[in-house]
Protein backbone atom coordinates (compact mmCIF):
# COMPACT_ATOMS: atom_id res chain seq x y z
CA UNK A 1 0.00 0.00 0.00
CA UNK A 2 1.50 3.28 -1.13
CA UNK A 3 0.84 6.43 0.91
CA UNK A 4 1.16 9.66 -1.03
CA UNK A 5 0.91 13.19 0.32
CA UNK A 6 -1.82 15.49 -1.01
CA UNK A 7 0.61 17.79 -2.84
CA UNK A 8 2.40 14.87 -4.52
CA UNK A 9 -0.96 13.35 -5.44
CA UNK A 10 -2.04 16.55 -7.19
CA UNK A 11 1.26 16.71 -9.04
CA UNK A 12 1.26 13.04 -10.13
CA UNK A 13 -2.45 12.25 -10.38
CA UNK A 14 -2.38 10.56 -13.80
CA UNK A 15 0.46 8.25 -12.74
CA UNK A 16 -1.36 7.39 -9.51
CA UNK A 17 -4.52 6.57 -11.45
CA UNK A 18 -2.54 4.23 -13.71
CA UNK A 19 -1.03 2.50 -10.68
CA UNK A 20 -4.45 2.10 -9.06
CA UNK A 21 -5.92 0.72 -12.29
CA UNK A 22 -3.09 -1.82 -12.33
CA UNK A 23 -4.22 -3.04 -8.91
CA UNK A 24 -1.99 -1.12 -6.51
CA UNK A 25 -3.66 0.32 -3.42
CA UNK A 26 -2.99 4.07 -3.20
CA UNK A 27 -3.78 6.04 -0.04
CA UNK A 28 -3.65 9.83 -0.19
CA UNK A 29 -2.72 11.50 3.08
CA UNK A 30 -3.34 14.95 4.47
CA UNK A 31 -0.68 16.11 6.94
CA UNK A 32 0.44 12.49 7.32
CA UNK A 33 -3.05 11.19 8.13
CA UNK A 34 -4.76 8.88 5.59
CA UNK A 35 -7.61 10.80 3.94
CA UNK A 36 -8.78 8.80 0.91
CA UNK A 37 -8.09 5.57 -0.94
CA UNK A 38 -7.68 5.63 -4.72
CA UNK A 39 -9.31 2.56 -6.28
CA UNK A 40 -10.44 1.77 -9.82
CA UNK A 41 -14.11 1.55 -10.73
CA UNK A 42 -14.97 -2.01 -11.78
CA UNK A 43 -15.70 -2.37 -15.47
CA UNK A 44 -19.24 -3.32 -16.38
CA UNK A 45 -19.77 -6.74 -17.91
CA UNK A 46 -19.88 -6.33 -21.64
CA UNK A 47 -20.76 -8.87 -24.25
CA UNK A 48 -17.20 -8.67 -25.55
CA UNK A 49 -15.94 -9.76 -22.11
CA UNK A 50 -18.04 -12.93 -22.10
CA UNK A 51 -17.97 -13.79 -25.79
CA UNK A 52 -17.23 -17.46 -26.24
CA UNK A 53 -17.66 -18.41 -22.58
CA UNK A 54 -20.08 -21.18 -23.49
CA UNK A 55 -18.37 -22.14 -26.74
CA UNK A 56 -17.39 -25.65 -25.59
CA UNK A 57 -20.55 -26.30 -23.56
CA UNK A 58 -23.20 -28.51 -25.16
CA UNK A 59 -26.55 -26.84 -25.78
CA UNK A 60 -29.29 -28.49 -23.73
CA UNK A 61 -32.92 -27.79 -24.56
CA UNK A 62 -36.05 -29.02 -22.80
CA UNK A 63 -37.91 -31.84 -24.55
CA UNK A 64 -40.91 -29.56 -25.12
CA UNK A 65 -38.85 -26.57 -26.26
CA UNK A 66 -40.63 -26.14 -29.59
CA UNK A 67 -44.16 -26.82 -28.29
CA UNK A 68 -46.39 -23.81 -27.77
CA UNK A 69 -48.12 -23.78 -24.34
CA UNK A 70 -51.92 -24.06 -24.59
CA UNK A 71 -52.64 -20.72 -22.87
CA UNK A 72 -50.41 -18.86 -25.32
CA UNK A 73 -51.92 -20.68 -28.30
CA UNK A 74 -55.41 -19.72 -27.10
CA UNK A 75 -54.31 -16.10 -26.59
CA UNK A 76 -53.29 -15.94 -30.26
CA UNK A 77 -56.42 -17.76 -31.43
CA UNK A 78 -54.53 -20.86 -32.50
CA UNK A 79 -56.56 -23.18 -30.24
CA UNK A 80 -60.17 -23.00 -29.14
pLDDT score for 53: 72
Convert the pLDDT of each residue in 3-57 to its tens digit. Answer: 999 999 999 999 999 999 998 999 999 999 999 999 988 877 777 667 777 777 7
What kind of architecture, by CATH, is found in domain 2-75?
Answer: 3-Layer(aba) Sandwich (3.40)
Query: Which of 5, 47, 48 has the alpha carbon at shortest distance from 28?
Result: 5
Which DSSP symbol is given to 26?
E
User: In terms of pLDDT, which residue wins out, 72 or 55?
Assistant: 72
Q: What is the pTM of this model?
A: 0.53
Phi-psi region of 54 (alpha: psi -120 to 50; beta: other; left: phi over 0): alpha
Amino acid sequence: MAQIGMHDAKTNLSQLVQRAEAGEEIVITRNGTPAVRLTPIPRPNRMADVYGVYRDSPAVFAQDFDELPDEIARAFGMKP
